[in-house]
Amino acid sequence: MNRRGIALAMVMTMLGLLTLMTTAFVAINHSNFGLLNASIDQENATRACYDAYAYAHYALENNKRWGTDFSTLPPAESADVASEMNIVVVDPNTLQGTLKEPDGSLSRITFTLTVINNLRPGGAPVARGGFPTVAPETCYIRVVGNSTGLERRLETVFATSPLFDSSALASGYIDIDARNSLTFDSLDKYRNTVRANGDITVPDGVIANRVHFDWTADPALNALPRKGMLWSKGAIRSGPTDLSLAINNPQRQQFENHSKGFVANNAAKTNNIYDLGFDDFKMYDTTPQVDIKPGKYVFGTATYDVNFDYQQLDRFGNPATDFLGRPVMGNTTRGISFPALIRMENGVAQEMWVKDGTVPPPGAPLPGALNSTILSITPQQSAGAEHQIADGIVRLTDIAVNPSTIPAGTSATIDIEGADFNVGANTILNVVGDFAMTSEVGTNPGPGLHRDVEAKLHLGYDVGAAPVAGQLGAIKASGTLTVREVDGNGALVANSDLTMQAGGQVSTDPNIGIALYGNRDVIMDPAGMAPADIGTPGAIVDSKFKGLVYAGRNFEMRKPPPAITNPSSVDIEGALVAKRGNIWIDEATNVKLTYNPIFLTKLVKDRPDDDIRLERQSFNLN
Amino acid sequence: MRRARGHTVVEMLVSLALLSALGMVLFFLFSTGTRSFRMLLTRQGLQAEARRIAAVLRRDLVLTHYRSAGYLNRVDATTGEQRDGMIFVGMDDWSNTADVTRFDSNLRPKWNRRVIWYATSRESEKLSPRGDRKLGQLIRKVVDTGPILFPLPYTAFGPMMASPQASTNDFKVYSRNVVMFGAQLDPATETVTAHLVLRERSGTAPTGDKQIVESFEVFIDTHPENTWPAL
């Protein structure tokens, strides 16, 4: 072989090597690019799924009927959506979309969005080929994202849920001072939460162990090491300890171990609380309503002087005569007291009701023992006589004697002697203006209230009877509503403040849901109670409500007067809501707040679309 | 014919010096290039490993229920590094939502397994002779428990993390380069955070007395999507 042959062989060898290297380089690059593209396509398909899901969720939140029939709906509801994606209708349940590039051109990323909207209440399950059966009051969404043939599938289900999801909810702070114990319970299998957008302050659960979570919805739940949660956008304090600490801080863990609940402070998002309007209650559409006049209905003891002519008896019991043989006559004035109810407006008495026989008509005998020296008496009532009662004056001519029902035809009855005001079964008393029912204070001797005139409000049952399950009575005032003791089944609703000046027990029906509603403040203020009241039969010190307790602003439970040291408890089952304000319970002995969705579910049913609250039930990405 | 003149000694020495210098430069460049290449490979390897871990862990967490999540803080006795463990509920098969044994009528998953992610300490590295003995393994273990009625934390999972070989349950080693694995829960946002630091040797420094190591640190923040009812 000559030198040229050697050179050729070397050149060929080198060329072969170079070819091999180039081929390997290209192959490896191709493989890398393939992997890279597959990875990018997977990311793109996932992005398509999330984008379409976000679009569907947004659309559904704005229109709960969205997806029931795409053939009659515009495919894109806003310019924002149109700038992000191009959407076309495939069939009444299906949309097909293509994501847009930043310059507005169509990308290679597409998606197919299928919606089976069965949110309408009372519907039947919807079975559609290739899809899971969609239960009533749920909405199924499937998105198949595609990027250059690579697909990912996202499935999710939304369902209607109670308007309120916690035993206590406040836009501001929650401050509960329970001197003995504070218990958060739940009759829901999934929810046991207390939420505030402000701070939460509870009694000492770190050392004194005064805070407890229960979960009586199920024994298995109640046996769990963690049963509930305090959730706050601000800080969470337990007695003197600020629990806004690291998640593994010993004090925080001690609180969680003792209370058996989680602490979630400084939450990143705001908890939006549903704004329940005064006219939103369906209960008023189906229940008979009767109107009563507004004002302050005051139970009290009316006293006034009656002037009497009398004839005297002699020592033998015969009518006495003077030396001329004429009967010995005299005249005297005697005070008469009788239980009465007076309706006041702006401090002026408008009407008064009294019990039969308590005010003797002219010529009638005076009640009570007669003076042995008096033969007979004749009250001399005159038109225009004035009687002081409570903080007003009523004239005799205004007295309507013994209309035990006010006004005629309504189901509100009054037992004046017992100072009972009863709202009859399945009746709503509708008051245009303010309504107050209180007792006369100050005109009676002795400290505090006089038990004989303690005004009691009974809901849903008549005088002398007992509450009957399912028989409801309610008072709805377009202004303020003020009562003292209250018990029974039904609701108290005020478009302004709702004030209770003593304890109370109100249970509502799950089909109604609302127990107490004040579109401004809901206040429990037992300041007027005196030690003599405590322990007296019929006196209600504790507060126990079953149903939704809703305050448009603040819920306040003020402490009793210092003289009252008896234990008092607060027990609310349903939900306690302070829409725009705070929840403040001051110096109660025991407080128990139990979440019970049964009182909150009916608020959602048959309501306008925008009032339905949706919750995502599941999420699956394959 | 004129005889060709040879190179002088000086010329030879100069040439040799120049060639040596050139050779040293070439060697230095080659050495540096090789080291950089190895560093690059190591770094890419760590990143790929972290990405793979993140993808699997994130998918596990996206599909789980936040309130089922629990964690144990553990510290490696030798290095003092965090080697936590976390546990949450999962399901063996998510592919068919029409499967009524795994999904209810609202497609809520019927949880049937616990998923555990944990990093081992140095002691359990004896069966893993490769690599730095101070590093731990990152293990994903699944324990098929049957139906889990309520997705709440299972705290007594410490023994399950003792040694992967001691268990017959399904497990997979996702990394043998774990310096640190930290788990954190944020109940306010219902977010699970995993903090992972990986490390691997990529050679020795030019002086030969110092190891060159590459580290890669990643935070994996995930909001479990099946957290119903939501906060």
DSSP per position, A186-205: ESSSS--EEEESS-EEE---
Comparison of pLDDT for A437 and A305, the residue scoring more = A437
Map residue A66 onto helix, strand or coil.
coil
Find all residues with CB under 8 Å of A155, minimum gap 6, and list them: A140, A141, A142, A143, A618, A619, A620, B97, B107
pLDDT tens figures, A492-544: 999 999 998 877 889 998 888 889 999 999 998 877 665 555 545 444 568 89
Q: Which of A193, A226, A615 is facing B228, going by the closest CB pair?
A: A615
- Tokens at A360, concatenated: 């003797």
Which of A243, A258, A264, A252 lies closest to A182 in space, CA to CA? A258
Count CB-CB contacts under 10 A for residue A10: 10
Contact B231 A231 (CB under 8 A): yes
Contact B188 A621 (CB under 8 A): no
CA distances from A336 to A223, A290, A352, A359, A366 (A): 64, 35, 16, 8, 9
Highest mean pLDDT, choosing among A69-83, A127-141, A415-429, B204-218: A127-141
What is the DSSP-derived secondary structure letter of residue A372?
T
Q: How far does the CA of residue B65 sit from the closest CA of chain A (Å)?
A: 10
Find all residues with CB under 8 Å of A75, minimum gap 6, and list them: A87, A88, A89, A95
Q: What is the pLDDT of residue B127?
A: 44
Residue with tokens 């929840």: A583
Q: What integer is the mean pLDDT of B89-104?
A: 89
Least confident of A411-420, A459-468, B189-198: A411-420
Q: What is the pLDDT confidence band of residue B181, given thresholds at 50, 70 and 90? A: very high
- A262 → chain B, closest CA residue: B187
- Tokens at B9, concatenated: 């000694």
Determine the Cα–Cα distance for residues A14 and A190; give it in Å rounded to an integer.
Answer: 73
What is the DSSP-derived secondary structure letter of residue B109?
B
Which of A228, A233, A183, A174 lies closest to A201 in space, CA to CA? A174
Which of A36, A24, A61 lies closest to A609 in space, CA to CA? A61
- Tokens at B117, concatenated: 């992610």
Q: What is the pLDDT of residue A78?
A: 66
Contact A618 B228 (CB under 8 A): yes
Q: What integer is the mean pLDDT of B51-79?
A: 89
Contact B63 A620 (CB under 8 A): yes
Least confident of A253-257, A478-482, B93-97, B210-214: B210-214
Determine the Cα–Cα distance for residues A460 and A469; give it in Å rounded to an integer.
Answer: 9
Q: For residue B69, which residues of chain A lie inside 8 Å, CB to CB? A: none
pLDDT tens figures, A557-573: 988 777 666 667 899 99
Q: What is the pLDDT confidence band of residue A318, given thresholds at 50, 70 and 90? A: confident
Task: Please answer whether residues A417 and A277 qualify as being in contact, where contact means their C-beta atoms are separated by less than 8 angstroms.
Answer: no
CB pairs under 8 A between A and B: 91
Contact A617 B95 (CB under 8 A): no
Q: What is the pLDDT of residue A442?
A: 42
Highest mean pLDDT, choosing among A124-128, A287-291, A496-500, B198-202: A496-500
Which of A95, A105, A106, A104 lies closest to A53 in space, CA to CA? A95
Comparison of pLDDT for A317 and A30, the residue scoring more = A30
Contact B231 A622 (CB under 8 A): no
Instruction: Report strand pairing: A348-354 vs A399-401.
Output: parallel
Question: Which residues 164-193 of B have a C-beta within 8 angstroms of A?
Answer: 184-189
User: A119, exposed or middle or buried, with CB in 10 Å at 0-12, 13-18, 19+?
Assistant: buried
Q: What integer is the mean pLDDT of A484-495?
A: 90
What is the DSSP-derived secondary structure letter of residue A505?
E
How confident is the prediction for chain A on average, in pLDDT?
80
Alpha helices in A224-263 (DSSP H): 250-259
Contact A268 B189 (CB under 8 A): yes
Q: What is the pLDDT of residue A450?
A: 43
Determine the Cα–Cα distance for residues A108 and B6; give it in Å rounded to an integer.
Answer: 72
Least confident of A71-75, A110-114, A500-504, B110-114: A71-75
Find all residues with CB under 8 Å of A94, minimum gap 6, and list them: A70, A112, A113, A114, A115
Residue with tokens 């001399």: A380
Least confident of A53-57, A276-280, A374-378, B191-195: A374-378
Give rounded-to-5 percent helix, strand, coil for chain A. Answer: 15, 40, 40
Q: What integer is the mean pLDDT of B71-99?
A: 89
Query: What's the pTM?
Result: 0.75
Determine the Cα–Cα distance for residues A296 and A344; give it in Å rounded to an integer.
Answer: 5
Contact A618 B226 (CB under 8 A): yes
Find all residues with CB under 8 Å of A416, minimum gap 6, and list them: A299, A339, A340, A341, A353, A354, A355, A358, A404
The answer to whether residue A194 scores a pLDDT higher than 80 is: yes
Highest mean pLDDT, choosing among A187-196, A244-253, A503-512, B117-126: A187-196
- Tokens at A8, concatenated: 């050729």
Least confident of A389-403, A419-433, B20-34: A389-403
Q: How many CA atoms lie within 13 A of A64 on its CB side?
A: 20
Q: Which of B106, B187, B189 is facing A262, going by the closest CB pair?
A: B187
Q: What integer is the mean pLDDT of A313-326?
A: 79
Could you give the percent of chain A with pLDDT greater than 90? Answer: 31
Q: How far does the CA of residue A29 sit from the closest CA of chain B (Å)?
A: 16
pLDDT tens figures, A346-385: 777 777 776 655 555 555 555 544 455 555 555 554 445 5
Which of B180, B190, B183, B201 lies closest to B227 in space, CA to CA? B190
Determine the Cα–Cα distance for residues A54 and A49; give it in Å rounded to an integer.
Answer: 9
- Tokens at B179, concatenated: 């310096």
Task: Please answer whether residues A243 and A283 qualify as being in contact, where contact means their C-beta atoms are separated by less than 8 angstroms.
Answer: no
Count CB-CB contacts under 10 A for residue B220: 16
Give rounded-to-5 percent helix, strand, coil for chain B. Answer: 30, 30, 40
Q: What letter represents residue B154's amino acid?
A: Y
- Write phi, then psi, for A331 (nearest 5 degrees): -145, 135
- Tokens at A12, concatenated: 């060929």
The answer to whether residue A267 scores a pLDDT higher than 80 is: yes
Determine the Cα–Cα distance for residues B40 and B32; give it in Å rounded to an integer.
Answer: 12
Instruction: Report strand pairing: B113-119 vs B85-90.
Output: antiparallel
Q: What integer is the mean pLDDT of A225-231?
A: 87
Determine the Cα–Cα distance for residues B15 and B21; give it in Å rounded to an integer.
Answer: 10
Q: What is the pLDDT of residue B62?
A: 94
The answer to whether residue B9 scores a pLDDT higher than 70 is: yes
Contact A616 B228 (CB under 8 A): yes
The answer to whether residue B57 scores a pLDDT higher than 80 is: yes
Q: What is the pLDDT of residue A98?
A: 94
Least confident of A186-195, A205-214, A403-412, A440-449: A440-449
Chain A residues contacting B via beta carbons under 8 Å: 125, 131-133, 135, 138, 140, 155-157, 159, 161, 165, 190-191, 193, 220-221, 224-226, 229, 231, 247-248, 262-269, 615-622
Q: How far does the CA of residue B208 sit from the closest CA of chain A (Å)?
A: 32
Question: What is the phi-psi region of residue A84: left when phi exceeds 0, alpha when psi lies from -120 to 50, beta otherwise?
Answer: alpha
Contact B187 A247 (CB under 8 A): yes
Map residue A140 onto helix, strand or coil.
strand
Determine the Cα–Cα distance for residues B221 and B231; give it in Å rounded to an integer.
Answer: 17
Q: What is the pLDDT of residue A521?
A: 97
What is the DSSP-derived secondary structure letter of residue A600?
H
Map residue B3 onto helix, strand or coil.
coil
Q: How far does the CA of residue A389 sit from the closest CA of chain B (Å)?
A: 54
Least confident of A100-114, A321-335, A586-600: A321-335
Q: What is the pLDDT confidence band of residue A454, given thresholds at 50, 70 and 90? A: low
Q: For residue A220, which residues of chain B lie inside 8 Å, CB to CB? A: 149-150
Instruction: Give the distance from CA A231 to its chain's centroid.
Output: 18
Q: Which long-range contacts (CB under 8 A, 24 or more apart) does A98-102 make?
A: A99/A47, A99/A48, A99/A51
The answer to whether residue A342 scores a pLDDT higher than 50 is: yes
Count CB-CB contacts under 10 A for residue A378: 17
User: A331, exposed or middle or buried, with CB in 10 Å at 0-12, 13-18, 19+?
Assistant: exposed
Q: For residue B155, which residues of chain A lie inside 8 Å, CB to CB? A: 225
Determine the Cα–Cα distance for residues A619 and B93; give it in Å rounded to an integer.
Answer: 14
Q: What is the pLDDT of residue B113?
A: 92
Q: What is the pLDDT of residue A161?
A: 84
Asked whether this complex has an ipTM greater than 0.85, the answer is: no
Q: What is the pLDDT of residue A451?
A: 43
Least confident of A213-222, A387-396, A413-422, B104-113: A387-396
